Amino acid sequence: MGRSRLSAWLVTLPPFAWIALFLFVPYCLLFCYSFWSLDANQQVLHHATFANYLHLATTPLYLTVILRSMRIAFSVVLLSLAIGYPLACFLVFQAGKYRQMLYQAVIIPLWISYLVRAYAWKVIFGNEGVMNTLLQWCHATSHPLGFLLYSPFAVIVTLTHIYAPFVVLPVVASLEKIPPELLESSSDLGANAWQTFARVILPLSLPGVLSGATFAFLLSFGDFLAPLLLGGPSSVMIANIVANLFGADYNWPLGAAVAVLILAMVLTILTLTQKLERRWRAA
């Protein structure tokens, strides 16, 4: 018995050690930094203070950016669901023998570089870009539409494009789990197609919807590339604030405080949705 106990330790130790050193310790450091501050010479004062958090609480900029980030993330989720949910239904119920192939077709974009996809939207939305030249060519507009690029619109469309597959996949998984007899039974008892959808399919697909929505929301919320590439000054998101504080706006303690705040928000949302999902799944 001692033998297997030993081998168990040998197995768990390396990952444990790695996680402790490269995840746990850094997060602790982050936490510590958030309580420190900078002195006049831009040196870090290892002196515990709530100054950073106070600054965050009292400066409206941060709340604005956080709310904006949540708004953008929420829009991404709604748009992704609008595109992704019907697509998932199509895959599971209508695709027939093409299902495997079409399912792969949803996954392929995920493997293509984020940068490539974001850049592509920049090409499409630019003043000289595809969208504008197409519209002008059709005489739908007479000059380039400015709002297409460097705006929340561009950020939302790009993020939807990137994260929509993350919504489709879990919805497909939960739709596939519905036993076909339930659908037959509903039909047998007199429900037409729409009633079966509303009363049986939709409720049973909600765990998957929640899971996908959560993932898409949290990833969009913390995204910093899309706003940097395609967003204007009006679409700066909270991750950009952090990046700047660790870059040009050099204030690591303050940046750490914002990071801790983001971390707390992400964990809270995740816990809440997991609880909710567990309750729904059990039904």
Residues 81 to 140 in contact with other proteins, rule: CB under 8 A: 83-84, 86-87, 89-91, 94, 102, 104-109, 111-117, 119-124, 126, 128-130, 133-134, 137
CA 261 centroid distance within chain? 17
In angstroms, what is the minimal distance from the CB of 253 to other proteins?
10
Number of residues in contact with other proteins, rule: CB under 8 A?
107
Other residues' Cβ atoms within 10 Å of the Cβ of residue 169: 19
CA 234 centroid distance within chain? 20
Does position 145 bind other proteins by CB under 8 A?
A: no
Cα–Cα–Cα angle for 185, 190, 193, rounded to 5 degrees: 80
Residue whose C-alpha is closest to residue 212's, from 126, 263, 152, 277: 277
In angstroms, what is the minimal distance from the CB of 234 to other proteins?
19
**Alpha-helical runs (H) found in 34-59:** 51-58
Site residues for other proteins, window 146-175 (CB under 8 A)? 161, 164-166, 169-170, 173
**35-61 burial: b if 16+ Cβ within 10 Å, else e:** bbbbeeeeeeeeeeeebbbebbeeeee
Helix (H, G, I), strand (E, B) or coil at 37: strand
In angstroms, what is the minimal distance from the CB of 158 to other proteins?
9
Among 223, 226, 235, 236, binds other proteins (CB under 8 A): 223
Q: Cβ contacts of residue 151 below 8 Å, gap of 6+? A: 231, 232, 234, 235
- The nearer residue to other proteins, 76 or 239, going by C-beta atoms, is 239
- The nearer residue to other proteins, 46 or 146, going by C-beta atoms, is 46
Among 53, 70, 246, 276, binds other proteins (CB under 8 A): 246
- The nearer residue to other proteins, 26 or 146, going by C-beta atoms, is 26
Does position 251 bind other proteins by CB under 8 A?
A: no
Does position 78 bind other proteins by CB under 8 A?
A: no
Among 52, 186, 235, 251, binds other proteins (CB under 8 A): 186
User: Residues 195-214: x/- map of binding to other proteins (CB under 8 A)?
Assistant: x---xx--xx------xx-x
Residue 218 · residue 244 · CB < 8 Å: no
- The nearer residue to other proteins, 130 or 272, going by C-beta atoms, is 130
In angstroms, what is the minimal distance from the CB of 67 to other proteins?
17
Does position 29 bind other proteins by CB under 8 A?
A: yes
Q: Which stretch binds other proteins (CB under 8 A): 47-55, 56-64, 140-148, 215-223?
A: 215-223
Site residues for other proteins, window 38-77 (CB under 8 A)? none
Q: Could you give the C-alpha distances from 249 to 33, 62, 112, in angstroms and in order?
A: 16, 15, 32
Does position 8 bind other proteins by CB under 8 A?
A: yes
Beta bridge partners of 38: 44
Helices vs. strands in the chain: H and E counts, helices first: 14, 2
In angstroms, what is the minimal distance from the CB of 219 to other proteins?
8
Residue whose C-alpha is closest to residue 162's, from 126, 120, 206, 129: 120
Phi, psi of 45 (to 5 degrees): -95, 120
